[in-house]
Amino acid sequence: MRGGTEMDYSFPEGFLWGAASSATQTEGASQEGGKAQNIWDYWYTIEPEKFFHEVGPGTASDFYHQFKTDVQRMADIGMNSFRTSLSWARLIPDGRNVNPEAVQFYQSLIDELLEKGIRPIINLYHFDMPLHLQEKGGWESREVVEAYVHYAKEAFRLFGGQVKDWTTFNEPIVPVEMGYLNHYHYPCVVDMKRAVQVAFHSMLASAKAIEQYRKLGHDGKVGIILNLTPSYPRSDNEADEKAAETADLFFNRSFLDPSVLGRYPEELTALLNQHHMLPHYVEGDMETIASHTVDFLGVNYYQPRRVQAKEHPVSNPTLPEHFFDPYVWPERRMNPYRGWEIYEKGLYDIALNIKDHYNNIPWYVAENGMGVSDEERFMDEDGMIHDDYRIEFLEEHLKWLHKGIKEGSNCYGFHMWTFVDNWSWLNAYKNRYGFYRVDVETQQRSLKKSGHWFKEVSRNNGF
């Protein structure tokens, strides 16, 4: 797609141009406004050294205090939509009762967005389990599933009259992969059977929240946001292709199939059964999942997954990686700061996969972006960061997305991660993603070159 004459990449009428964020990563005010501790607040208090430069979520990007001027900044660069999350620990700090200070904050934010012509997309869960619920088992616990359903119902009741776009989860694979198969998210458990239970309960909770939304009779839509990582085999050798299919089952289809199709892949169920890892469920659970599928998909795409057949087979596999080996593609291009491969065509492959295998469900790119360290290197004398690398990254992804739309994939929007540089879990502020730079010391914002570029793209509905 590179080189040649310049083409006109225009997008469908009404296309969403915006950005995404989350409560814990932007709000700050972690001990204000009646908010309870979530797992990130707690983990930082006991192991601050785990976090880059020991920066925790206490202040983040101060969105809790600066949201009005930040919403104006969104409007200034042509954003017509914005996705963020509610903080469960802020809205319902004790697990039962709604916090009026949180209601006032979120209501004011929604009002501000609508007043500026920015469509709010509100997500319910973005890795931020309230601590008191994690202590009850987190997503391993049925009780926590029911607590989430209560939280979702209250959110829909409070804000569903104005918010027409809801998502139940952002990247539900991440708490599974990072918190129950690795040590990158709290509770830092490495146990695949428990991980499978967490994954299943996340899908059950999503379906139950969708059920509540529809019972309330709102006229909006409810979806889910999944980070889809296409799995590419090293070769067309049968063993390599089988390895790629297995990776796809674990990391994509385990959430995509129940969310959109209302059922789990038979191959996944058989594989988990073979290794005695099926989750516990009760009568009616599968019917709940089958009957409450999503209206739309949000898709986060950053990098592909490349795999090959296992060089040394594991007789008793206890982790997904025991079923396949990673493969380094000799032609790959890397984002050296994040350690991720840059492969723009992956977005096109996702677009066609949704079209061909998932009923061509309406979907939008809910996150795409490039994290870079030490961006001050690219700052001019006027204080603007010239992030041409980010502009190129976004343009190349948009070209492939455009091709997928032209071929019939039902994509209606593109959101960048993120609007302003934000706090990012253990990485804190190591890598920056925003259209606006945040000075962590002063919390002042300054527009990057990519923000000017985005304004033109939004205004022209293409480039």
Characterise 196 by phi-psi region: left (phi > 0), alpha (psi -120 to 50), beta (else). Answer: alpha
27, 140, 177, 367: the active-site residue: 367
Note whether 258 and 203 are within 8 A (CB): yes
Is the CB of residue 93 less than 8 Å from the CB of residue 99?
yes
Residue 435, φ and ψ in degrees, nearest 5: -70, -30
Which pair of structure tokens corresponds to residue 158? 């409070």
Using CA atoms, how far apart are residues 87 and 22, in angstroms rounded to an integer?
Answer: 8
36 to 32, 52, 269, 317: CA distances (angstroms): 9, 24, 37, 39
Q: Is 143 known to be catalytic?
A: no
Mark whether 287 is an active-site residue: no
* DSSP H/E element including 331: none
Q: How many alpha carbons lie under 13 Å from residue 34 in its C-beta half-sphere? A: 16
Distances (CA, A) of 220 to 63, 106, 159, 304: 26, 18, 11, 32
Instruction: Please give the structure tokens belonging to residue 385.
Output: 């960061």
**Nearest partner of 423 among 109, 55, 130, judged by Cα:** 55
CA 212 remoteness from chain centre: 22
Q: How many residues does the chain have?
A: 463
- Helix axis angle for 142-159 and 192-216, nearest 10°, is 30
If you search the block for the tokens 């708490």, which residue do you land on? 175
- In sequence order, what DSSP letters do the residues of 266-313 get, joined into one string? HHHHHHHHHTT-PPP--TTHHHHHHH---S-EEEE----EEEE--SS-
For 341, residues 6+ apart whose C-beta sits below 8 A from its C-beta are: 303, 304, 306, 329, 332, 333, 334, 335
Query: How does DSSP assign 137-162, residue by residue?
Result: TGGG-HHHHHHHHHHHHHHHHHHTTT
The answer to whether 351 and 405 have CB atoms below 8 angstroms apart is yes
Question: Annotated catalytic residue: which of 27, 140, 154, 171?
Answer: 171
Question: Which residues form the catalytic set?
Answer: 171, 367
